Amino acid sequence: MKAKVHITLKPGVLDPQGKAIEGALRGLGFTNASQVRQGKVIELTVDETNAAAARTRVEDMCKRLLANPVMENYDIEILD
């Protein structure tokens, strides 16, 4: 099964990458862009036939490696 994990910084956590992008956008004349935040998407294939089992497996991966639960939220999407 294919899975997609969206990892975003928790609200309130400072996002220097987002700030840098916002500054660069303003420099290019996009002055109406604000609240820019950058996150990650990880796409992977899990060798499971059951969607619930795949989700549990991916959740375990998030907790152990993919996300930093102190600073980041993650959202798992099982595709097919």
How many residues of this chain bind a copy of itself (CB under 8 A)? 32
Q: Report d(CA 17, CA 61) in Å as an integer.
A: 25
Q: Does 57 bind a copy of itself (CB under 8 A)?
A: yes
Distance CA 68, CA 66 (A): 7
Answer yes or no whether residue 40 interacts with a copy of itself by CB under 8 A: yes
Position 80 contacts a copy of itself (CB under 8 A): no
Rounded Cα distance between 51 and 73, Å, is 21
Binding site for a copy of itself (CB under 8 A): 6, 8, 18, 21-22, 24-25, 28, 30, 32-48, 57, 60-61, 64-66
